[in-house]
Amino acid sequence: MANDTPLDDGQPEDSKLTRTKRQWAEQGKFLTGRITRPETDRLPPGQHLVKNWPVLDLGQQPRVPTTQWKLDVRGLVNNPITFDWAAFNALPQSETRSDIHCVTTWSRYDNNWKGVATHDLLDAVDPKDEAVAVMLTSYDGYTTNLLLADFASPDAIIVHSWEGQPLTEEHGGPVRLVVPHLYFWKSAKWLQRIEFLSRDQAGFWEKNGYHMRGDPWAEQRYDED
């Protein structure tokens, strides 16, 4: 059962989902060729609206009690910090509302979040001038990359609550990232580590044929090479 999954820092297994989504990247599945802009069309090309919140993961949902959870922030920062639950919640708390756009073509409007805005985290750790990207690592071994400009966007937030309730395990609790202007695979669940880098590097899905950035309005689902 998912609740019995031990914490694991290793690489995710090559699951059926991984193999399927790798094939999607090779085939260019779901691509429409249309381009829209968020200021003129709330729903990106190739997406459809859902009312529920579908659950997607790599086959395991790590149980991370708040008493054990830590967020390690390292790399090109002047103040590397390891946050425990109390220290993380002592940071300024923000509430935001945003949409979700998943690369598997579903979108969900008006999600209410609470957590720490990434710009408040950046104030705490003080990235060095040479930092241009971050690598996110989850408690299930998942990784994904972001340009620092995307990570620092005004609507990006590291959340612990959704719709007024603690974020559930299946949706990445106790803490996940939310970067609403990119496809949701960039918003890592079960967040464990943020490393600031001098160059952009591919994470898990990016190594499996997915786009390095993932802008839904430009339909950046897959690697362009």
Three-state DSSP state, 47: coil
Residue 62: closest CA among 136, 153, 171, 165: 171
Highest mean pLDDT (candidates 6-10, 15-19, 203-207): 203-207
More confident residue, 153 or 14: 153
Instruction: Return the H-helix or E-strand segment holding 210.
Output: none
pLDDT number for residue 9: 42
pLDDT attached to residue 4: 31
196 bridge partner residues:
75, 134
pLDDT at 223: 84
Query: Is a pLDDT exceeding 80 seen at residue 107?
Result: yes
- Place 81 in a pLDDT band, splitting at 50, 70 and 90: very high
The pair of structure tokens assigned to 208 is: 């499996």
* Residue 18 lies inside a defined structural domain of this protein: no
Here the CATH number for the domain that contains residue 145 is 3.90.420.10
Of 15-19, 71-75, 189-193, the one with minimum mean pLDDT is 15-19
Note down the domain range covering 213: 45-218
89 located within any domain: yes
Residue 201 domain-assigned? yes
38 occurs within a structural domain: no
Nearest to 134 by CA among 186, 81, 181, 67: 186
Do the strands 48-49 and 106-117 form a parallel or antiparallel pair, or are they unpaired? parallel
Q: Residue 27 domain-assigned?
A: no
pLDDT, mean of residues 65-92: 98
Which pTM value belongs to this model?
0.82
Q: In this structure, are residues 200 and 130 in contact, taking their beta carbons and an 8 Å threshold?
A: no
Please compute the mean of the pLDDT values over residues 23-31 and round it to a whole number.
53
- Partners of 195 in beta bridges: 74, 135
Domain membership of residue 6 (yes or no) is no
Q: Pairing between strand 191-197 and 70-75?
A: parallel
Number of domains present in the structure of the chain: 1
106: Cα within 13 Å, side-chain hemisphere: 8
Assign 41 a pLDDT band (cuts: 50, 70, 90).
confident
Judge whether 85 lies within some domain: yes
| Rounded Cα distance, 177 and 190, in Å | 9
Q: Stretch 116-144: mean pLDDT, rounded?
A: 97
Q: Is residue 28 part of a domain?
A: no
**pLDDT for the residue 2:** 32
DSSP assigned state of 10: S
